[in-house]
Amino acid sequence: AQSVTQLGSHVSVSEGALVLLRCNYSSSVPPYLFWYVQYPNQGLQLLLKYTSAATLVKGINGFEAEFKKSETSFHLTKPSAHMSDAAEYFCAVKNQAGTALIFGKGTTLSVSS
C-alpha cells in the first residue's frame, strides 16, 4: 500500500537560510507525489507535484522538489527562507488506484528573523 513519511514534525530556520523538508514514500507502483502548504486557518494549497515527467520539479513561491527513486524520497527545498514561508507542509502520494491522496503527518516550518 502507498504511504508517505515526513521526517521531522517541526523544522526551524532563519530567514535567508536553506529550507529542507523531508518526505519518503512507499509505493508498489510508480508514484504520483505532491507537496501542499497550509497557512493558519486555511485550506491546503498545491506547491508542486511529480508525475514522472521530470525528476526535479519546480513549484510556486520558489520551492522545488527532487524525486529520487533509489532513495524513495521527494524532499522539498527552497534556497532562501522568507518569513512568509512559515506554515505547515504536507507530502502526499496517490493511492494505488489513483483515486485519492494519502497524506503524511505534516511538518511545521518556523522562520525566524
Partner 1 sequence: NAGVTQTPKFQVLKTGQSMTLQCAQDMNHNSMYWYRQDPGMGLRLIYYSASEGTTDKGEVPNGYNVSRLNKREFSLRLESAAPSQTSVYFCASSGHESKGSEAFFGQGTRLTVV
Residue ranges that bind partner 1, judged by CB under 8 A: 9, 32, 34, 36, 41-46, 49, 51-52, 90, 94, 98-106
Residue placing its CB nearer to partner 1 in the complex, 6 or 73 = 6
Residue placing its CB nearer to partner 1 in the complex, 61 or 80 = 61
Nearest distance from C-beta of residue 16 to partner 1, angstroms: 29
Residue placing its CB nearer to partner 1 in the complex, 15 or 95 = 95
Residue placing its CB nearer to partner 1 in the complex, 27 or 73 = 27
Say which DSSP state 18 is in. P
Nearest distance from C-beta of residue 8 to partner 1, angstroms: 13
Residue given cell 502548504 in the structure block: 37
d(CA 89, CA 87): 6
CB 98 within 8 A of CB 31: no
Nearest distance from C-beta of residue 80 to partner 1, angstroms: 26
- On the 0-12 / 13-18 / 19+ scale of CB atoms within 10 A, 85 is buried
Q: Which three cell numbers stand for residue 51?
A: 508525475
For 47, the 3-state DSSP assignment is strand
Nearest distance from C-beta of residue 24 to partner 1, angstroms: 14
